[in-house]
Amino acid sequence: MTGDEPTPVVDTTWTVGEVMALPAAQAVLAPLFAQMPISQDEEMQKMIEQMPLNRLSGLGGLDRAMIQQQLVDQVNAAL
């Protein structure tokens, strides 16, 4: 049945690409990533898409608490 799929639970081991593949997550993350200067570089975007969320510390001013709060908690709330 459609709609019976379990809701995924995102954690910091997910890659940026895996998270961005979730439509609800795009609305949360796209504005944050758009603010990062490296987001304008296509090669950097490809590299970042393969990175686990917990490896984003230090990139674009993101710290571990922000990753947990904004990149994980807000995404899970949006799912």
Residue 7 pLDDT > 90, yes or no?
no
pLDDT of 18-56, one tens digit each?
Answer: 999 999 888 888 887 777 776 678 888 888 889 898 887
Contact between 10 and 19 (Cβ < 8 Å): yes
Domain ranges in the chain? 11-33+54-79
Q: How many CA atoms lie within 13 A of 6 on its CB side?
A: 3
- The pLDDT-based confidence of 1 (bands split at 50, 70, 90) is low
Q: What is the mean pLDDT of residues 59-77?
A: 80
User: 29: Cβ–Cβ under 8 A, 6 or more apart, which residues?
Assistant: 16, 19, 20, 71, 75
CA 68 distance to own-chain centroid: 10
Q: Is 15 helix (H, G, I), strand (E, B) or coil?
A: strand
